[in-house]
Structure 1
Amino acid sequence: MKVIETFLRSKQGGDDGGEDRLFTGASFVAVIDGATAKSGQAMKDQPSPGARAAEAAMTAIASFEAGIAPDDAFRRIESAISAAASRTDGETPKAVCAIYSRARREIWRVGDISVRIGQQTHPGEKLVDRIAAAYRAALLRTYLLEGHDALALRASDPGREAILPLLRRQDMFENGPAEDPLSYAVLDGSGRCIGRVEVFPVPPGADIVLCSDGYLGPAATLAEAEQRLEDDLMRDPLRIGEFATTKAVGPDAVSFDDRAYIRVRTD
Protein backbone atom coordinates (compact mmCIF):
# COMPACT_ATOMS: atom_id res chain seq x y z
CA MET A 1 0.00 0.00 0.00
CA LYS A 2 1.06 3.60 -0.58
CA VAL A 3 0.27 6.48 1.74
CA ILE A 4 -0.59 9.30 -0.64
CA GLU A 5 -1.28 12.15 1.78
CA THR A 6 -1.83 12.81 5.46
CA PHE A 7 -2.77 15.82 7.55
CA LEU A 8 -3.08 16.45 11.28
CA ARG A 9 -4.07 19.75 12.89
CA SER A 10 -5.53 20.72 16.25
CA LYS A 11 -8.44 23.15 16.50
CA GLN A 12 -5.95 25.65 17.93
CA GLY A 13 -3.79 25.29 14.81
CA GLY A 14 -1.05 23.08 16.24
CA ASP A 15 0.58 20.22 14.34
CA ASP A 16 0.22 17.95 17.38
CA GLY A 17 -3.36 17.16 16.36
CA GLY A 18 -4.85 17.93 19.75
CA GLU A 19 -6.82 14.77 20.56
CA ASP A 20 -6.62 13.35 17.02
CA ARG A 21 -3.89 10.93 15.96
CA LEU A 22 -2.67 9.30 12.72
CA PHE A 23 -0.99 5.92 12.62
CA THR A 24 0.98 4.77 9.58
CA GLY A 25 2.84 1.47 9.40
CA ALA A 26 3.70 -1.33 7.00
CA SER A 27 0.55 -3.32 7.80
CA PHE A 28 -1.92 -0.77 9.18
CA VAL A 29 -2.99 2.84 8.90
CA ALA A 30 -5.45 4.41 11.29
CA VAL A 31 -7.20 7.60 12.34
CA ILE A 32 -7.99 7.96 16.04
CA ASP A 33 -10.11 10.70 17.60
CA GLY A 34 -9.95 11.12 21.36
CA ALA A 35 -13.21 12.22 22.96
CA THR A 36 -13.47 15.82 24.18
CA ALA A 37 -13.79 16.08 27.96
CA LYS A 38 -17.26 17.10 29.14
CA SER A 39 -16.58 17.45 32.87
CA GLY A 40 -14.41 20.57 32.67
CA GLN A 41 -11.96 18.89 35.09
CA ALA A 42 -9.01 18.53 32.72
CA MET A 43 -5.76 19.23 34.55
CA LYS A 44 -3.57 22.03 33.30
CA ASP A 45 -0.34 20.87 31.63
CA GLN A 46 -1.60 17.26 31.60
CA PRO A 47 -2.82 15.32 28.55
CA SER A 48 -6.59 15.40 28.24
CA PRO A 49 -8.55 12.15 28.69
CA GLY A 50 -9.11 12.03 24.93
CA ALA A 51 -5.43 12.47 24.19
CA ARG A 52 -4.55 9.69 26.65
CA ALA A 53 -7.04 7.36 24.96
CA ALA A 54 -5.69 8.21 21.51
CA GLU A 55 -2.09 7.61 22.60
CA ALA A 56 -3.07 4.29 24.18
CA ALA A 57 -4.72 3.24 20.91
CA MET A 58 -1.62 4.23 18.95
CA THR A 59 0.57 2.10 21.19
CA ALA A 60 -1.76 -0.87 20.82
CA ILE A 61 -1.93 -0.64 17.02
CA ALA A 62 1.87 -0.52 16.84
CA SER A 63 1.91 -3.94 18.53
CA PHE A 64 -0.50 -5.65 16.12
CA GLU A 65 0.53 -8.72 14.17
CA ALA A 66 -0.17 -8.26 10.46
CA GLY A 67 -3.01 -10.81 10.34
CA ILE A 68 -4.79 -9.88 13.57
CA ALA A 69 -8.59 -10.15 13.46
CA PRO A 70 -10.71 -7.02 14.03
CA ASP A 71 -12.27 -8.08 17.35
CA ASP A 72 -8.88 -9.09 18.70
CA ALA A 73 -7.44 -5.78 17.53
CA PHE A 74 -10.06 -3.75 19.35
CA ARG A 75 -9.81 -5.91 22.46
CA ARG A 76 -6.13 -4.97 22.58
CA ILE A 77 -6.94 -1.28 22.14
CA GLU A 78 -9.58 -1.48 24.85
CA SER A 79 -7.07 -3.11 27.20
CA ALA A 80 -4.59 -0.30 26.54
CA ILE A 81 -7.23 2.37 27.21
CA SER A 82 -8.30 0.57 30.39
CA ALA A 83 -4.70 0.61 31.58
CA ALA A 84 -4.44 4.34 30.79
CA ALA A 85 -7.64 4.99 32.75
CA SER A 86 -6.36 3.08 35.78
CA ARG A 87 -3.36 5.43 36.02
CA THR A 88 -5.41 8.63 36.08
CA ASP A 89 -8.16 10.31 38.03
CA GLY A 90 -11.19 12.09 36.64
CA GLU A 91 -12.98 11.53 33.35
CA THR A 92 -12.56 8.17 31.60
CA PRO A 93 -10.34 8.28 28.50
CA LYS A 94 -12.38 7.52 25.39
CA ALA A 95 -11.79 7.49 21.65
CA VAL A 96 -13.09 6.35 18.28
CA CYS A 97 -10.96 4.75 15.62
CA ALA A 98 -10.85 3.41 12.07
CA ILE A 99 -8.07 1.06 10.96
CA TYR A 100 -7.10 -0.27 7.52
CA SER A 101 -5.61 -3.78 7.61
CA ARG A 102 -3.37 -4.40 4.61
CA ALA A 103 -3.28 -8.18 5.16
CA ARG A 104 -7.05 -8.56 5.42
CA ARG A 105 -7.96 -5.78 2.92
CA GLU A 106 -10.48 -4.42 5.40
CA ILE A 107 -11.30 -1.21 7.20
CA TRP A 108 -12.44 -1.66 10.80
CA ARG A 109 -14.36 1.13 12.50
CA VAL A 110 -15.56 1.85 16.01
CA GLY A 111 -17.31 5.21 16.26
CA ASP A 112 -17.75 8.20 14.00
CA ILE A 113 -14.58 8.24 11.88
CA SER A 114 -15.54 8.85 8.23
CA VAL A 115 -14.50 6.29 5.61
CA ARG A 116 -14.20 6.45 1.84
CA ILE A 117 -13.48 3.42 -0.38
CA GLY A 118 -13.13 4.47 -4.02
CA GLN A 119 -16.32 6.44 -4.72
CA GLN A 120 -18.29 4.93 -1.84
CA THR A 121 -18.52 6.94 1.37
CA HIS A 122 -19.43 5.91 4.90
CA PRO A 123 -19.72 9.16 6.87
CA GLY A 124 -19.23 9.09 10.61
CA GLU A 125 -22.42 10.25 12.32
CA LYS A 126 -24.09 10.05 15.73
CA LEU A 127 -27.79 10.84 16.06
CA VAL A 128 -27.37 12.16 19.60
CA ASP A 129 -24.80 14.69 18.34
CA ARG A 130 -27.14 15.81 15.55
CA ILE A 131 -29.90 16.36 18.10
CA ALA A 132 -27.62 18.36 20.40
CA ALA A 133 -26.23 20.39 17.49
CA ALA A 134 -29.72 21.19 16.18
CA TYR A 135 -30.89 22.44 19.58
CA ARG A 136 -27.73 24.52 20.03
CA ALA A 137 -28.15 26.03 16.56
CA ALA A 138 -31.78 26.96 17.19
CA LEU A 139 -30.94 28.57 20.52
CA LEU A 140 -28.06 30.60 19.10
CA ARG A 141 -30.26 31.78 16.25
CA THR A 142 -32.59 33.33 18.83
CA TYR A 143 -29.63 35.21 20.30
CA LEU A 144 -28.72 36.53 16.85
CA LEU A 145 -32.31 37.61 16.23
CA GLU A 146 -32.15 39.56 19.49
CA GLY A 147 -29.14 41.42 18.14
CA HIS A 148 -26.31 39.71 20.01
CA ASP A 149 -22.86 40.00 18.48
CA ALA A 150 -21.77 36.85 16.65
CA LEU A 151 -18.14 37.14 17.79
CA ALA A 152 -19.23 37.50 21.40
CA LEU A 153 -21.43 34.42 21.00
CA ARG A 154 -18.44 32.49 19.68
CA ALA A 155 -16.54 33.38 22.84
CA SER A 156 -19.29 32.61 25.36
CA ASP A 157 -21.26 30.00 23.35
CA PRO A 158 -24.43 29.86 25.45
CA GLY A 159 -25.65 27.17 23.09
CA ARG A 160 -22.81 24.89 24.16
CA GLU A 161 -23.63 25.61 27.79
CA ALA A 162 -27.28 24.70 27.15
CA ILE A 163 -26.48 21.27 25.72
CA LEU A 164 -23.84 20.32 28.30
CA PRO A 165 -26.34 18.36 30.44
CA LEU A 166 -27.00 16.08 27.47
CA LEU A 167 -23.33 15.88 26.49
CA ARG A 168 -22.42 14.86 30.04
CA ARG A 169 -25.13 12.18 30.15
CA GLN A 170 -24.96 10.81 26.62
CA ASP A 171 -22.51 8.16 27.78
CA MET A 172 -25.66 6.30 28.81
CA PHE A 173 -26.00 5.51 25.09
CA GLU A 174 -22.41 4.33 24.62
CA ASN A 175 -22.10 0.81 23.21
CA GLY A 176 -25.81 0.27 23.72
CA PRO A 177 -28.03 -2.05 21.66
CA ALA A 178 -27.61 -1.51 17.93
CA GLU A 179 -31.37 -1.20 17.55
CA ASP A 180 -31.41 1.90 19.78
CA PRO A 181 -31.02 4.83 17.35
CA LEU A 182 -29.29 6.92 20.03
CA SER A 183 -26.69 4.30 20.88
CA TYR A 184 -23.19 4.56 19.45
CA ALA A 185 -19.90 2.71 19.64
CA VAL A 186 -16.88 4.06 21.50
CA LEU A 187 -13.58 2.79 22.86
CA ASP A 188 -13.67 3.35 26.63
CA GLY A 189 -11.64 0.49 28.07
CA SER A 190 -14.73 -1.55 28.95
CA GLY A 191 -14.61 -3.92 25.97
CA ARG A 192 -18.30 -3.29 25.31
CA CYS A 193 -17.58 -2.11 21.76
CA ILE A 194 -16.81 -5.68 20.68
CA GLY A 195 -19.79 -6.68 18.59
CA ARG A 196 -20.18 -3.09 17.37
CA VAL A 197 -17.08 -3.15 15.14
CA GLU A 198 -17.95 -2.27 11.53
CA VAL A 199 -15.96 -4.08 8.83
CA PHE A 200 -15.68 -2.73 5.27
CA PRO A 201 -14.00 -4.88 2.57
CA VAL A 202 -11.55 -3.03 0.34
CA PRO A 203 -10.87 -4.09 -3.28
CA PRO A 204 -7.29 -4.17 -4.59
CA GLY A 205 -5.99 -0.90 -5.97
CA ALA A 206 -8.66 1.25 -4.35
CA ASP A 207 -7.99 4.65 -2.84
CA ILE A 208 -9.25 4.77 0.73
CA VAL A 209 -9.72 7.77 3.01
CA LEU A 210 -10.06 7.85 6.78
CA CYS A 211 -10.78 11.15 8.50
CA SER A 212 -12.01 12.43 11.84
CA ASP A 213 -15.14 14.50 12.36
CA GLY A 214 -13.16 17.73 12.24
CA TYR A 215 -13.84 17.48 8.50
CA LEU A 216 -17.21 17.74 6.79
CA GLY A 217 -16.87 14.23 5.39
CA PRO A 218 -14.44 11.87 3.65
CA ALA A 219 -13.51 13.94 0.61
CA ALA A 220 -11.57 12.19 -2.16
CA THR A 221 -8.47 14.36 -1.65
CA LEU A 222 -6.96 16.37 1.17
CA ALA A 223 -7.16 19.55 -0.92
CA GLU A 224 -10.90 19.06 -1.38
CA ALA A 225 -11.42 18.27 2.31
CA GLU A 226 -9.50 21.37 3.38
CA GLN A 227 -11.23 23.65 0.87
CA ARG A 228 -14.72 22.48 1.87
CA LEU A 229 -13.88 23.02 5.52
CA GLU A 230 -12.30 26.44 4.97
CA ASP A 231 -15.26 27.67 2.92
CA ASP A 232 -17.77 26.50 5.52
CA LEU A 233 -15.80 27.95 8.43
CA MET A 234 -15.80 31.32 6.69
CA ARG A 235 -19.57 31.13 6.17
CA ASP A 236 -20.45 29.75 9.57
CA PRO A 237 -17.92 30.14 12.41
CA LEU A 238 -20.74 29.75 14.94
CA ARG A 239 -21.44 26.29 13.44
CA ILE A 240 -25.21 26.70 13.32
CA GLY A 241 -25.80 26.22 9.58
CA GLU A 242 -25.90 23.20 7.30
CA PHE A 243 -23.05 21.50 9.14
CA ALA A 244 -24.08 22.48 12.67
CA THR A 245 -21.89 21.14 15.46
CA THR A 246 -21.94 21.09 19.24
CA LYS A 247 -19.43 23.93 19.57
CA ALA A 248 -18.35 27.09 17.78
CA VAL A 249 -14.97 28.06 16.40
CA GLY A 250 -13.46 29.77 19.44
CA PRO A 251 -12.02 33.28 18.96
CA ASP A 252 -8.49 31.90 19.41
CA ALA A 253 -9.08 28.75 17.33
CA VAL A 254 -8.78 27.92 13.63
CA SER A 255 -11.60 25.38 13.59
CA PHE A 256 -14.34 23.85 15.72
CA ASP A 257 -12.50 20.54 16.21
CA ASP A 258 -9.20 18.77 15.72
CA ARG A 259 -8.84 17.06 12.36
CA ALA A 260 -6.94 14.12 10.91
CA TYR A 261 -6.95 12.84 7.33
CA ILE A 262 -5.18 10.02 5.52
CA ARG A 263 -5.50 8.79 1.93
CA VAL A 264 -3.98 5.46 0.95
CA ARG A 265 -3.79 3.51 -2.30
CA THR A 266 -4.15 -0.18 -1.56
CA ASP A 267 -2.15 -3.03 -3.11
Structure 2
Amino acid sequence: MQVVEQLCIGKRGKVDLCEDGVFANEHFGAVIDGCTSRLSLVPSERSSGLIAKECLLATLSTMDPEVTMVQAFHALNASILSWYQMQGLEDTAFTNPAKRCSAYIAIVSRYHRQVWVLGDCQALVDSVLTTRHKAIDTLMEDVRTLLVEHALMQGKTADYLLANPQEIQGKLDDLMQLQPTFQNSDNPSHFAYAVLDGFFSDYEQVQIVVLPDTSTEVVLASDGYPHLFPTLAQTEDALEHQLTHDPLMISTCRATKPLIAGNLSFDDRSFLRIIV
Protein backbone atom coordinates (compact mmCIF):
# COMPACT_ATOMS: atom_id res chain seq x y z
CA MET A 1 0.00 0.00 0.00
CA GLN A 2 1.67 3.18 -1.19
CA VAL A 3 0.27 6.61 -0.38
CA VAL A 4 0.70 8.96 -3.33
CA GLU A 5 -1.25 11.98 -2.09
CA GLN A 6 -3.47 12.86 0.82
CA LEU A 7 -5.21 15.88 2.28
CA CYS A 8 -7.68 16.50 5.08
CA ILE A 9 -8.84 20.02 5.86
CA GLY A 10 -11.83 21.47 7.67
CA LYS A 11 -14.15 24.04 6.14
CA ARG A 12 -13.19 26.46 8.91
CA GLY A 13 -9.48 25.73 8.56
CA LYS A 14 -9.23 24.43 12.15
CA VAL A 15 -7.92 20.89 12.67
CA ASP A 16 -9.75 20.40 15.97
CA LEU A 17 -13.12 21.14 14.31
CA CYS A 18 -12.67 18.95 11.22
CA GLU A 19 -15.07 15.99 11.14
CA ASP A 20 -13.29 14.37 8.16
CA GLY A 21 -10.40 11.95 8.60
CA VAL A 22 -7.81 10.09 6.53
CA PHE A 23 -6.21 6.76 7.50
CA ALA A 24 -3.48 4.70 5.84
CA ASN A 25 -1.28 1.82 6.97
CA GLU A 26 0.10 -1.26 5.18
CA HIS A 27 -3.29 -3.01 5.23
CA PHE A 28 -6.00 -0.35 4.85
CA GLY A 29 -6.58 3.07 3.39
CA ALA A 30 -9.68 5.06 4.31
CA VAL A 31 -11.43 8.41 4.32
CA ILE A 32 -14.03 9.19 6.96
CA ASP A 33 -16.80 11.77 6.80
CA GLY A 34 -18.20 12.50 10.24
CA CYS A 35 -21.77 13.82 10.14
CA THR A 36 -22.81 17.03 11.83
CA SER A 37 -25.64 16.04 14.18
CA ARG A 38 -28.61 18.35 14.62
CA LEU A 39 -28.58 17.94 18.42
CA SER A 40 -25.75 17.39 20.90
CA LEU A 41 -25.58 14.08 22.73
CA VAL A 42 -23.39 15.49 25.50
CA PRO A 43 -22.15 19.00 26.34
CA SER A 44 -18.73 18.91 24.71
CA GLU A 45 -16.35 20.98 22.62
CA ARG A 46 -16.15 17.95 20.31
CA SER A 47 -19.02 17.58 17.87
CA SER A 48 -20.81 14.25 17.40
CA GLY A 49 -19.23 13.90 13.95
CA LEU A 50 -15.78 14.42 15.43
CA ILE A 51 -16.40 11.75 18.08
CA ALA A 52 -17.56 9.28 15.40
CA LYS A 53 -14.47 10.00 13.31
CA GLU A 54 -12.18 9.37 16.28
CA CYS A 55 -13.93 6.07 17.06
CA LEU A 56 -13.46 4.85 13.47
CA LEU A 57 -9.82 5.95 13.25
CA ALA A 58 -9.01 4.09 16.48
CA THR A 59 -10.71 0.93 15.19
CA LEU A 60 -8.92 1.02 11.83
CA SER A 61 -5.55 1.22 13.57
CA THR A 62 -6.12 -2.13 15.33
CA MET A 63 -8.18 -3.96 12.71
CA ASP A 64 -7.13 -7.45 11.61
CA PRO A 65 -5.74 -7.20 8.04
CA GLU A 66 -7.91 -10.14 6.90
CA VAL A 67 -11.30 -8.90 8.11
CA THR A 68 -14.16 -9.20 5.66
CA MET A 69 -16.34 -6.24 4.76
CA VAL A 70 -19.04 -7.36 7.18
CA GLN A 71 -16.54 -7.89 9.99
CA ALA A 72 -14.94 -4.50 9.35
CA PHE A 73 -18.20 -2.57 9.35
CA HIS A 74 -19.44 -4.48 12.39
CA ALA A 75 -16.29 -3.47 14.28
CA LEU A 76 -16.49 0.15 13.13
CA ASN A 77 -20.14 0.42 14.12
CA ALA A 78 -19.47 -1.31 17.44
CA SER A 79 -16.80 1.26 18.31
CA ILE A 80 -19.43 4.01 18.28
CA LEU A 81 -21.89 1.88 20.26
CA SER A 82 -19.16 1.21 22.83
CA TRP A 83 -18.59 4.94 23.20
CA TYR A 84 -22.30 5.43 24.00
CA GLN A 85 -22.14 2.62 26.54
CA MET A 86 -19.06 4.04 28.26
CA GLN A 87 -20.83 7.39 28.55
CA GLY A 88 -24.09 5.81 29.74
CA LEU A 89 -25.86 7.17 26.66
CA GLU A 90 -26.91 4.07 24.71
CA ASP A 91 -30.64 4.48 25.42
CA THR A 92 -30.57 8.18 24.58
CA ALA A 93 -28.79 7.54 21.29
CA PHE A 94 -31.18 4.70 20.42
CA THR A 95 -34.31 6.75 20.99
CA ASN A 96 -33.08 9.97 19.35
CA PRO A 97 -31.17 9.48 16.08
CA ALA A 98 -30.67 13.25 15.78
CA LYS A 99 -28.19 13.05 18.67
CA ARG A 100 -26.12 10.12 17.40
CA CYS A 101 -22.43 10.18 16.54
CA SER A 102 -22.48 9.26 12.86
CA ALA A 103 -20.05 8.87 9.97
CA TYR A 104 -19.62 7.54 6.45
CA ILE A 105 -16.49 5.81 5.25
CA ALA A 106 -14.69 4.47 2.18
CA ILE A 107 -12.05 1.77 2.81
CA VAL A 108 -9.50 -0.07 0.71
CA SER A 109 -8.56 -3.56 1.93
CA ARG A 110 -5.21 -4.71 0.57
CA TYR A 111 -5.76 -8.33 1.65
CA HIS A 112 -9.12 -8.66 -0.11
CA ARG A 113 -8.21 -6.21 -2.90
CA GLN A 114 -11.56 -4.53 -2.48
CA VAL A 115 -12.91 -1.05 -1.86
CA TRP A 116 -15.87 -0.73 0.52
CA VAL A 117 -17.95 2.46 0.26
CA LEU A 118 -20.78 3.52 2.55
CA GLY A 119 -22.93 6.53 1.77
CA ASP A 120 -21.67 9.53 -0.12
CA CYS A 121 -17.99 8.94 0.48
CA GLN A 122 -16.38 8.42 -2.92
CA ALA A 123 -14.03 5.95 -4.60
CA LEU A 124 -12.47 6.38 -8.04
CA VAL A 125 -10.96 3.28 -9.70
CA ASP A 126 -10.07 3.18 -13.41
CA SER A 127 -12.12 6.34 -14.00
CA VAL A 128 -15.23 4.70 -12.50
CA LEU A 129 -16.79 6.60 -9.59
CA THR A 130 -18.51 4.71 -6.77
CA THR A 131 -20.69 6.64 -4.33
CA ARG A 132 -24.31 6.85 -3.24
CA HIS A 133 -26.15 10.14 -2.78
CA LYS A 134 -29.03 9.94 -0.31
CA ALA A 135 -32.51 10.58 -1.67
CA ILE A 136 -33.28 12.76 1.33
CA ASP A 137 -30.19 14.89 0.64
CA THR A 138 -31.30 15.40 -2.96
CA LEU A 139 -34.69 16.54 -1.68
CA MET A 140 -33.18 18.99 0.81
CA GLU A 141 -30.79 20.35 -1.81
CA ASP A 142 -33.67 20.93 -4.22
CA VAL A 143 -35.75 22.65 -1.55
CA ARG A 144 -32.81 24.87 -0.58
CA THR A 145 -32.25 25.75 -4.24
CA LEU A 146 -35.91 26.75 -4.48
CA LEU A 147 -35.56 28.98 -1.39
CA VAL A 148 -32.38 30.61 -2.71
CA GLU A 149 -33.79 31.23 -6.19
CA HIS A 150 -36.98 32.64 -4.69
CA ALA A 151 -34.94 35.03 -2.52
CA LEU A 152 -32.93 36.14 -5.55
CA MET A 153 -36.13 36.78 -7.51
CA GLN A 154 -37.36 38.90 -4.59
CA GLY A 155 -34.31 41.16 -4.92
CA LYS A 156 -31.87 39.63 -2.42
CA THR A 157 -28.31 39.51 -3.77
CA ALA A 158 -25.97 36.52 -3.72
CA ASP A 159 -23.54 38.49 -1.54
CA TYR A 160 -26.31 39.20 0.97
CA LEU A 161 -27.33 35.53 1.14
CA LEU A 162 -23.73 34.41 1.58
CA ALA A 163 -23.21 36.91 4.41
CA ASN A 164 -26.54 35.94 6.01
CA PRO A 165 -26.83 32.16 5.52
CA GLN A 166 -29.60 31.83 8.13
CA GLU A 167 -31.90 33.72 5.76
CA ILE A 168 -32.19 30.40 3.91
CA GLN A 169 -30.98 27.80 6.42
CA GLY A 170 -33.56 28.90 8.99
CA LYS A 171 -36.36 28.11 6.55
CA LEU A 172 -34.77 24.79 5.62
CA ASP A 173 -34.28 23.66 9.22
CA ASP A 174 -37.90 22.64 9.78
CA LEU A 175 -37.65 20.08 6.99
CA MET A 176 -34.14 18.94 7.90
CA GLN A 177 -35.32 18.09 11.41
CA LEU A 178 -37.29 15.25 9.84
CA GLN A 179 -34.18 13.60 8.35
CA PRO A 180 -32.90 11.64 11.39
CA THR A 181 -36.19 9.71 11.51
CA PHE A 182 -35.01 7.85 8.39
CA GLN A 183 -31.50 7.10 9.75
CA ASN A 184 -30.88 3.33 9.87
CA SER A 185 -34.66 2.92 9.95
CA ASP A 186 -36.18 -0.55 9.65
CA ASN A 187 -39.33 0.92 8.08
CA PRO A 188 -39.39 0.74 4.27
CA SER A 189 -39.00 4.22 2.82
CA HIS A 190 -37.57 5.93 -0.24
CA PHE A 191 -35.79 8.27 2.17
CA ALA A 192 -34.25 5.66 4.51
CA TYR A 193 -30.45 5.61 4.61
CA ALA A 194 -27.64 3.70 6.30
CA VAL A 195 -24.82 5.26 8.29
CA LEU A 196 -22.34 4.12 10.95
CA ASP A 197 -23.90 5.43 14.16
CA GLY A 198 -23.79 2.51 16.59
CA PHE A 199 -27.04 1.07 15.19
CA PHE A 200 -26.00 0.21 11.63
CA SER A 201 -27.00 -3.25 10.37
CA ASP A 202 -27.77 -3.06 6.63
CA TYR A 203 -24.53 -4.36 5.14
CA GLU A 204 -26.11 -4.51 1.69
CA GLN A 205 -25.83 -0.73 1.60
CA VAL A 206 -22.03 -1.03 1.44
CA GLN A 207 -20.87 -0.88 -2.18
CA ILE A 208 -17.99 -3.22 -3.05
CA VAL A 209 -15.45 -2.55 -5.81
CA VAL A 210 -13.22 -5.51 -6.70
CA LEU A 211 -9.70 -4.46 -7.66
CA PRO A 212 -7.56 -6.17 -10.33
CA ASP A 213 -4.79 -8.51 -9.21
CA THR A 214 -2.21 -6.10 -10.60
CA SER A 215 -1.06 -2.88 -8.94
CA THR A 216 -3.98 -0.42 -9.01
CA GLU A 217 -4.40 3.25 -8.19
CA VAL A 218 -7.38 4.13 -6.01
CA VAL A 219 -8.67 7.55 -5.02
CA LEU A 220 -10.91 7.95 -1.98
CA ALA A 221 -12.61 11.17 -0.92
CA SER A 222 -15.40 12.61 1.19
CA ASP A 223 -18.29 14.52 -0.35
CA GLY A 224 -16.50 17.77 0.46
CA TYR A 225 -15.27 17.41 -3.12
CA PRO A 226 -18.21 17.90 -5.53
CA HIS A 227 -16.14 16.50 -8.40
CA LEU A 228 -13.51 13.79 -7.94
CA PHE A 229 -10.52 13.42 -10.28
CA PRO A 230 -7.46 11.11 -10.38
CA THR A 231 -5.14 13.70 -8.78
CA LEU A 232 -5.38 16.03 -5.83
CA ALA A 233 -4.48 19.06 -7.97
CA GLN A 234 -7.30 18.38 -10.44
CA THR A 235 -9.79 17.78 -7.64
CA GLU A 236 -8.76 20.92 -5.77
CA ASP A 237 -8.96 22.98 -8.97
CA ALA A 238 -12.50 21.72 -9.58
CA LEU A 239 -13.48 22.65 -6.03
CA GLU A 240 -11.97 26.12 -6.40
CA HIS A 241 -13.90 26.61 -9.65
CA GLN A 242 -17.10 25.53 -7.89
CA LEU A 243 -16.59 27.89 -4.96
CA THR A 244 -15.68 30.80 -7.23
CA HIS A 245 -18.51 30.47 -9.74
CA ASP A 246 -21.30 28.99 -7.59
CA PRO A 247 -20.63 29.82 -3.91
CA LEU A 248 -24.34 29.53 -3.14
CA MET A 249 -24.10 25.85 -4.14
CA ILE A 250 -27.29 25.79 -6.20
CA SER A 251 -26.12 25.37 -9.80
CA THR A 252 -23.15 23.22 -10.85
CA CYS A 253 -23.31 21.45 -7.48
CA ARG A 254 -26.24 21.57 -5.10
CA ALA A 255 -25.65 21.29 -1.36
CA THR A 256 -27.60 21.84 1.84
CA LYS A 257 -25.34 24.77 2.74
CA PRO A 258 -23.39 27.47 0.90
CA LEU A 259 -19.84 28.71 1.18
CA ILE A 260 -20.29 30.66 4.40
CA ALA A 261 -18.34 33.91 4.59
CA GLY A 262 -14.99 33.34 6.30
CA ASN A 263 -14.91 29.59 5.64
CA LEU A 264 -12.45 27.84 3.34
CA SER A 265 -15.11 25.70 1.69
CA PHE A 266 -18.74 24.66 1.97
CA ASP A 267 -17.76 21.45 3.81
CA ASP A 268 -14.84 19.58 5.37
CA ARG A 269 -12.92 17.61 2.76
CA SER A 270 -10.57 14.63 2.65
CA PHE A 271 -8.65 12.99 -0.19
CA LEU A 272 -6.48 9.87 -0.34
CA ARG A 273 -4.72 8.58 -3.45
CA ILE A 274 -3.01 5.22 -3.01
CA ILE A 275 -1.52 2.39 -5.00
CA VAL A 276 -2.72 -1.04 -3.89
Q: Normalization by structure 1: what TM-score?
A: 0.92
Q: How far has the Cα of 1:51 moved from its partner?
A: 0.4
Q: 2:153 aligns with which of 138, 145, 150?
A: 145
Q: 2:140: which partner in 1?
A: 132
Give the Å deviation of 1:159.
2.4
Structure-2 residue corresponding to 1:195: 204
Q: Does 1:107 pair with 2:106?
A: no
Identity %: 29
Q: Identify the residue that residue 95 of structure 1 maps to in structure 2.
A: 103
Matched, 1:169 2:168: no
Alpha-carbon displacement from aligned partner over 1:144-175 (angstroms, at most 9, x marks no partner): 12221323312332322222233222122223
Unaligned runs of 5+ in 1: none
- DSSP 3-state at the match of 1:210: strand
Q: How far apart, in 2, do the equivalents of 1:171 and 1:263 lie?
A: 32
SS, match of residue 195 in structure 1: helix
Cα distance change, pair 17–114 in 1 and its aligned pair in 2 (3 A): farther
The answer for unaligned runs of 5 or more in structure 2 is 94-98
Any conservation in 1 of the 2:17–2:46 contact (CA below 8 Å)? no
> Match for residue 6 of structure 2?
6
Quote how far apart the aligned CAs of 1:124 are.
3.8
Match for 1:9: what amino acid?
Answer: I
> Which consecutive aligned stretches of 4+ in structure 1 deviate over 4 angstroms post-superposition?
41-45, 176-180
RMSD across aligned C-alpha pairs, in angstroms? 2.1
The alpha-carbon deviation at position 17 of structure 1 amounts to: 6.8
- From 218, 221, 229, the equivalent of 2:231 is 221
Asked if 1:260 is matched to 2:260, the reply is no
Equivalent runs, 1:76-87 vs 2, <5 Å: 76-86=75-85, 87=87
What corresponds to 1:21 in structure 2?
21
Q: Please give the secondary structure, in 2, of the residue aligned with 1:153.
A: helix
Higher helix share: 2
| Larger deviation, residues 7-16 vs 137-146 | 7-16
Instruction: Establish whether residue 207 from structure 1 lines up as the match of residue 206 from structure 2.
Output: no
Q: CA deviation at 1:215?
A: 0.2
CA distance in 2, matches of 1:43, 1:233: 34
User: Whole-Å Cα distance in 2 between the matches of residues 234 and 226 of structure 1?
Assistant: 12
- Cα pair 1:53 1:93 within 8 Å, conserved: yes
Give, as a single letter, the amino acid of the residue that structure 2 aligns with 1:103: Y
Tell me, yes or no, if the aligned pair for 1:218 and 1:225 is still in contact at 8 Å: yes
CA contact under 8 A between 1:123 and 1:217: conserved in structure 2? no
Which amino acid in structure 2 is aligned with residue 109 of structure 1?
A: V
Separation in 1 of the partners of 2:57 and 2:43? 23
Determine if contact 1:211/1:217 at 8 Å carries over to the other structure. Answer: no
Tell me, what secondary structure is at the counterpart of 2:203? coil
1:51 is matched with: 50
Partner of 1:233: 243
Cα distance in 2, alignment partners of residues 17 and 221 from structure 1: 26
Deviations 1:42-91 (A, max 9, x none): 87761100000011011111111110111111111111111223426882
